[in-house]
Structure 1
Amino acid sequence: MNPSSDLVNRLWRECAVLRKDGVTYMQYVTELTYLLFLKMCSEQKDESRIPESYRWEAIRTAGETEVLTRYKQLLIDLGDGTKIADRSIVAIFNNASTVIRTPANLRKLIAAIDDLHWFTAERDAFGDAYEGLLQKMAEETKRGAGQYFTPRVLINMIVGLMKPRAGEIIQDPAAGTGGFLIAADQYMRDQTDDYHDLLDSPRKITFQLKQAIRGLENVSDTFRLLLMNLHLHRIDPDYLDLNDTLSPTGQQAAFKNANLILTNPPFGPAGSPPTRDDLTVTDRVSSYQLPFVEHVIRALALGGRAAVIVPDNVLFDDGRGRLLRQMLMERCDLHTILRLPTGIFYAQGVKTNVLFFTRSQEEAPTEAATQAVWIYDLRTGAPAYGKTNPIGDKDFADFVQAFGDDPLGRSARTDQGETGRFRRFTREDLAARNDNLDITWLKAESADPDDGLTDPDDIAAAIETHLVFALEEVRGLVEELEREAPLAALEEVEA
């Protein structure tokens, strides 16, 4: 059996211990993060950074009456930067608290983890196991889960096409639990003999290990999972921040001039408008995804490339959405759009696409960088994907072949015509459509891919998702009307 799969299943079964106390899957995985970190330090013989009374053995052998009290104090103290010098430990335990109510339940969880002996397997196997727990959590919490967990098969496909190279700055401005950053790091390790090819240059190896990987995540609990996931995959970057990309933090030098940006920004209404002064096109929109796309455009170095997952409305929204698409095609070569099937994210009903684009080599291009856009429709006629029918590598094989080997989208390609899935549309074609990129040509047997859903939870999640996006569309329309009304009144007065 795959060691990581075995670990995932064994750890996940222990969730039943806490579910009876009303603990959510997210809370369970977060709780595991604290305990697994202590266990891992013990297995690695690397506990010098942790006070002796809070080390794994001390917690494991604590008496029934004191184990929960000591554990609660441990969570407080290890997150206190005045008591703990190691910043990674403080970040993982920052504002930590436990949802365990009884010493008996804590004892059961500690015993279950202690019995795993998971370090008899390779370290990477446990890193994969932790990521497997995050996937399990996403599967069990469909509503909104796709906002923080992108399926690994999709990530690996995108990373394989974008071909990250050692020495490049790789950024994810909506890092979630770190899937894109981990996959990019692994791809580069595979290309450089686990970075041994860089050992002849201390500067190169230092840059690769500490500065190449950069990310922002705005949700504190997700950031905690991100830190743990990266730590288990041997990634400890200097430029990883708990902050909002749409705040002034996203303008900092550390998050500019990226050679490659890979991201799945959050979908849905934002809590508040962006507070950055450089997002001039999307500064007052009501959704996250539009300003995130503008961030990517502005954060790319000249000649840099990106792959961004976006919902359908980014392709067709009028007003600021259309202005953003025009900006994108002026400054970047938007060479490929992949229309993804529904059901591959755990939030059912979300219709998404991958935008592949390359920043122009000129700061202010004299002509539009995009001359033509290739669109691959993997959605029409696709089976109903979901928990019982997950998408796999084979489902992306034809698209990967059609995309070609060039990460800039310049490989020789063939327009497959009205009966094929891959077609080319010139800039003139798009202008005639008012720059609406929501283009379909294949005929679907079903009017809606959601028609194939059978699981009641999947159906309910799909309905909820559609309502959220419909509300967002209404809000966007109201905002457009409110902006246009004063201008129309002013023009009438001037007339």
Structure 2
Amino acid sequence: MSATQDIVAKLWKLCDVLRDDGVTYSEYVTELTFLLFLKMMAETGQERRIPEEYRWDTLARREGLDQLTHYKHLLTSLGDPEERDAEGKPKPAKDKLVLAIFENAQTRLRKPANLKSLTTAIEDLDWFDAREEGLGDLYEGLLQKNAEDKKSGAGQYFTPRPLIDSIVRLTKPQLGERIQDPAAGTGGFIVAAHRRIYEENNELYGLAEGAAEKQIRDCYTLSELVPDTHRLCLMNIMLHGIEGDAQSMDTLTDEGSHLPKADLILSNPPFGTKKGGGRPQRSDFSTTAGTSNKQLAFVEHIIRGLVPGGRAAVVVPDNVLFEDGTGRALRQMLMNWCDLHTILRLPTGIFYAQGVKTNVIFFTRNADRSESGWTEAVWVYDMRAGAPSYGKTRPLRAEDFADFEAAFGDDPNGRAERQDQGEEGRFRRFSREDIEKRGDNLDISWLRDGEEEAEDGLTDPDDITAAILGHLREATREIEALVLELEGEEEGAAPAAVAAE
């Protein structure tokens, strides 16, 4: 076991102790983020970013109620942009990252002994080996542990790392490109893209003057709606050496229209409908302006967010590929404005908190921003039919994507020479004419779907429970979407037509 794995296991085990204090798994990771941030600032020589009275040693050496009281005051103070001293004078401006990490921070710890257990355990970890292996890897390990645990429910925003890494290998992010994730979660796509660029460019050494600084500060744009998830995202990218633009915002409001255009967009947008059936509040939207379906709206954002010739890879549920009305209009927009060159049908069970069926769509924005007939054919790879029973007993691995990556080819825009494998194979080509005959339905399958076989093969109780809950969530989501669509028809709301950008 590596030092990083050992530390993650020790930290995660402490959660069992804290459950007596009413702390949930996700709350525990947030609590750890506050404490680890203070400790990691000390370990990396960046404590100057934190006022002296709130640094790690000042907290760790305290005992009992004094420590818990100081910790609560620390959280409030570090997240207050307008803190004043005893005389009412403004204190010096705080570091922007510190303010963002601790914004509206509060602790769920009630027992001083539990805080002392945490600070002592963190102090006793092997920080030398952790630094050698990478503090970012340590934190990512905690995020993955949280996502893998069915009780945490965090899998809804954690995309499996083997899938992220495969997508990054295929889309080939390059030095100097503007890369965006408009629904960043904990920042996994951006971290993986940066890691590839970092490793392929001599760890950013020897570049032209200012190029390395530009890469880590100006080339990454992230947006995340949920405040606690945004906090985890900030911590994750910071520990991976990224100082990009990570905003806490709703991309589906007009704020999202001001995100800079990107050369590459990688994302796994949230599934489902906007709360209360609300529509996207984007004045620049045309096709999805009248829908509460978030994944459809995010796809329109991504189409509009690419520069001419920009490329994207997006995880979407099946309904994006077959839904009628606004769904069909969006697919027409996608195939007209972009080259939708590849669809990967993913196996079920790879998202820990969701049993919905998902896909990855790969597309390239028209180089001349024209809006007609850009997609000549769509290649579909079926990784779902006959797939293993993914879960705790059979996790997703990098090698599971090897055949797909070989079929996809070496061109990130899907223009490598490809071979149609026929009705018995997993990779097939469908012309735009073929798709039009199908009513622009892109939910294309031809192999016998082994999903029922796969789910019968589940043996771990947590995996079985997750599969059942996933199906219930998806059924509920489809009912909600149907109700909202029927209400829209009663109000005379017709699906929006594809309009000019």
Distance 1:161 1:220, change over 3 A: same
Q: In 1, Cα distance between the equivalents of 2:100 and 2:197?
A: 26
1:20 is paired with a residue whose SS is helix
Residue number among 201, 204, 221 corresponding to 2:209 in the alignment: 201
- Corresponding residue for residue 40 of structure 1: 40
Residue number among 220, 224, 238 corresponding to 2:227 in the alignment: 220
Distance 1:488 1:151, change over 3 A: closer
Distance 1:442 1:143, change over 3 A: farther
Q: CA deviation at 1:148?
A: 1.2
Distance 1:488 1:373, change over 3 A: closer
- Corresponding residue for residue 396 of structure 2: 391
1:120-199 to 2 correspondences below 5 Å? 120-122=129-131, 125-141=134-150, 144-198=153-207
Q: In 2, Cα distance between the equivalents of 1:63 and 1:178?
A: 35
Q: In 1, Cα distance between the equivalents of 2:65 and 2:435?
A: 70
Q: Deviations over 1:57-98 (max 9, x none)?
A: 111111323000000000000111124520100100111111
Higher deviation after alignment, 152-161 or 264-273: 264-273
Q: In 2, Cα distance between the equivalents of 1:458 and 1:261?
A: 31
- What letter corresponds to residue 209 of structure 2 in structure 1? S
Q: In 1, Cα distance between the equivalents of 2:114 and 2:152?
A: 28
- Corresponding residue for residue 251 of structure 1: 257
Q: Deviations over 1:413-445 (max 9, x none)?
A: 000000000000000000000010111111135
Q: In 1, Cα distance between the equivalents of 2:493 and 2:269?
A: 34
Higher deviation after alignment, 208-217 or 460-469: 460-469
Residue number among 417, 423, 430 corresponding to 1:418 in the alignment: 423
Q: CA deviation at 1:229?
A: 0.5
Give the CA RMSD over aligned residues.
Answer: 1.8
- Corresponding residue for residue 11 of structure 1: 11
Matched, 1:95 2:104: yes
1:52-451 to 2 correspondences below 5 Å? 52-83=52-83, 84-122=93-131, 125-141=134-150, 144-198=153-207, 200-202=208-210, 204-237=211-244, 239-252=245-258, 255-271=259-275, 272-365=278-371, 367-445=372-450, 447=452, 449-451=454-456
Q: Deviations over 1:307-361 (max 9, x none)?
A: 0000111110011001000000000000000001111111242211000000011
Q: CA deviation at 1:285?
A: 1.7
- What letter corresponds to residue 296 of structure 1 in structure 2? I
Q: In 2, Cα distance between the equivalents of 1:412 and 1:90?
A: 50
2:356 is paired with a residue whose SS is coil
Q: In 2, Cα distance between the equivalents of 1:194 and 1:443?
A: 46
- Corresponding residue for residue 492 of structure 1: none
- What letter corresponds to residue 236 of structure 1 in structure 2? E
Higher deviation after alignment, 459-468 or 66-75: 459-468
Q: CA deviation at 1:295?
A: 0.4
Q: In 2, Cα distance between the equivalents of 1:324 and 1:450?
A: 32
1:471-482 to 2 correspondences below 5 Å? 471-482=476-487
Distance 1:283 1:469, change over 3 A: farther
Q: CA deviation at 1:265?
A: 0.3
Distance 1:108 1:142, change over 3 A: closer
- What letter corresponds to residue 402 of structure 1 in structure 2? A
Instruction: Tell me if the contact between 1:143 and 1:461 (Cα under 8 Å) persists in the aligned partners.
Output: no
Instruction: Tell me if the contact between 2:338 and 2:364 (Cα under 8 Å) persists in the aligned partners.
Output: yes
Q: Deviations over 1:261-318 (max 9, x none)?
A: 0000011222132111112111222321110001000000010000000011111001
Q: In 2, Cα distance between the equivalents of 1:439 and 1:370?
A: 16
- Corresponding residue for residue 470 of structure 2: 465
Distance 1:110 1:487, change over 3 A: closer
- What letter corresponds to residue 264 of structure 2 in structure 1? L
Q: In 2, Cα distance between the equivalents of 1:485 and 1:79?
A: 47
1:236 is paired with a residue whose SS is coil
Q: CA deviation at 1:122?
A: 3.1
Instruction: Tell me if the contact between 2:273 and 2:481 (Cα under 8 Å) persists in the aligned partners.
Output: no
Q: In 2, Cα distance between the equivalents of 1:473 and 1:310?
A: 15
- Corresponding residue for residue 86 of structure 2: none
Distance 1:331 1:375, change over 3 A: same
- What letter corresponds to residue 236 of structure 2 in structure 1? N
Q: In 1, Cα distance between the equivalents of 2:257 and 2:453?
A: 40
What is the TM-score normalised by the length of structure 2? 0.93
1:66 is paired with a residue whose SS is helix
Identity of aligned residues (%): 56
Distance 1:330 1:474, change over 3 A: same
What is the TM-score normalised by the length of structure 1? 0.94
Q: Deviations over 1:376-426 (max 9, x none)?
A: 000000110012210111111000100000000001000000000000000
Q: In 2, Cα distance between the equivalents of 1:296 and 1:28?
A: 33
Q: CA deviation at 1:257?
A: 1.9
1:70 is paired with a residue whose SS is helix
Q: Which runs of 5+ in 1 are unaligned?
A: 490-495
1:470 is paired with a residue whose SS is helix
Q: In 2, Cα distance between the equivalents of 1:446 and 1:50?
A: 52
Q: CA deviation at 1:154?
A: 0.7
Instruction: Tell me if the contact between 1:7 and 1:118 (Cα under 8 Å) persists in the aligned partners.
Output: no
Instruction: Tell me if the contact between 1:256 and 1:298 (Cα under 8 Å) persists in the aligned partners.
Output: no
Instruction: Tell me if the contact between 1:305 and 1:357 (Cα under 8 Å) persists in the aligned partners.
Output: yes
Q: In 2, Cα distance between the equivalents of 1:472 and 1:444?
A: 23
Q: Which runs of 5+ in 2 are unaligned?
A: 84-92, 495-501
1:65 is paired with a residue whose SS is helix
- Corresponding residue for residue 29 of structure 2: 29
- What letter corresponds to residue 291 of structure 2 in structure 1? V
Instruction: Tell me if the contact between 1:256 and 1:301 (Cα under 8 Å) persists in the aligned partners.
Output: no
Q: In 2, Cα distance between the equivalents of 1:211 and 1:46?
A: 21
1:423 is paired with a residue whose SS is strand
Q: CA deviation at 1:448?
A: 6.1
User: How many matched pairs?
Assistant: 483
Q: CA deviation at 1:446?
A: 5.2
Q: CA deviation at 1:112?
A: 0.3
1:122 is paired with a residue whose SS is helix
